Amino acid sequence: MASVYFTDSSTGWAVGNNGLIIKTTDGGEHWFVQYSGAGFTLHSVFFIDSNTGWTVGDVSEIDKTTNGGLNWERILESGYPNFLFCQLYR
């Protein structure tokens, strides 16, 4: 997995190759698969709450969810073969 983000001690997501997204709701004890629909590596994931989050990766694309990752919507696709990463500062 390329990136992991938890919104609290129980709920988190991890992203990786071929658009793979996995989610846990029990602090990492169990994980289940969610797919963004992206066919490339996702490098970063970030959520502002348990419903709203974004992923970025190869092909300069940004995907967003507003329902905890059940569905993902492409909100930016530049078409350039550049990679996007997210760096968090707190």
Report yes or no: 6 and 16 within 8 Å, Cβ to Cβ: no
- Which two tokens mark 27? 């602090």
Band of the pLDDT at 90, cuts 50, 70, 90?
very low
Q: How far apart are CA 5 and CA 33, in angstroms?
A: 15
Query: How far, in Å, CA of 22 to CA of 32, rounded?
Result: 5
Alpha helices in the chain (DSSP H): none
pLDDT band at 66 (very low <50, low <70, confident <90, very high): very high
The vertex-45 CA angle with 42 and 46, nearest 5°, equals 160
- Per residue in 3-56, pLDDT (tens digit) is 899 999 999 999 998 889 999 999 999 999 987 777 778 888 999 999 999 988
